[in-house]
């Protein structure tokens, strides 16, 4: 399976430093996870929703390759803070290397994937093709 990770240019797509430093919908600061999306468009929307001051720094879009035989756990929708408790518990328990969660950005109709870099199967997950991603300026017109 291929998922897509939108990240700042110059940073490794499989680096979990950002999640370690700040809270996300499915984790609290201090927990190392990596977020990805099932579609390029969803990765873009997830980035746009966090845009501040009407601009986004340079981005890369990287394919992340998840082996077909790797177990993926699915989570039902949870509101914050329950989603954070669930994600933190999933990460600590290391039940799977990947967690599939619904995206609020598209009304829970598509999926985001959370990768646990501390899981034993993390080394089987690979980077695929990476390319620059430029957002259309019309997103930022007042």
Tell me the pLDDT of the chain averaged across its residues. 94
What is the number of domains present in the chain? 1
Whether 138 is in a domain gets the answer no
Give yes or no for residue 119 having a pLDDT over 80.
yes
Kindly state whether residue 71 falls inside one of the protein's structural domains: yes
Any idea what DSSP says for residue 11?
S
Full domain range(s) for residue 112: 2-133
Edge-to-edge strand list for the sheet holding 34-37: 72-74, 98-102, 111-115, 34-37, 2-8, 59-65, 126-133
- Whether 13 shows a pLDDT value over 70: the answer reads yes
- For residue 56, what pLDDT is reported? 82
pTM for the full predicted model:
0.94
Quote the pLDDT of residue 117. 97
Domain contains 140: no
Residue at 113 is within a domain: yes
Distance CA(98)–CA(92), nearest Å, equals: 13
């Amino acid at each position: 399976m291929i998922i897509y990770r939108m990240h700042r240019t110059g940073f490794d797509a499989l680096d979990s430093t950002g999640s370690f430093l700040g809270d996300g919908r499915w984790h609290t600061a201090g927990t190392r996870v990596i977020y990805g999306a099932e579609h390029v468009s969803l990765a873009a929307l997830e980035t746009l929703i966090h845009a501040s001051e009407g601009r986004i720094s340079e981005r890369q879009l990287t394919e992340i390759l998840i082996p077909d035989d790797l177990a993926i756990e699915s989570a039902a929708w949870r509101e914050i803070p329950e989603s954070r408790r669930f994600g933190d518990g999933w990460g600590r328990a290391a039940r799977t290397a990947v967690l599939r969660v619904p995206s609020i950005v598209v009304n829970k109709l598509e999926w985001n994937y959370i990768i646990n870099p501390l899981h034993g199967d993390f080394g089987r997950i690979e980077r695929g093709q990476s390319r620059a991603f430029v957002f259309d300026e019309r997103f930022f017109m007042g």
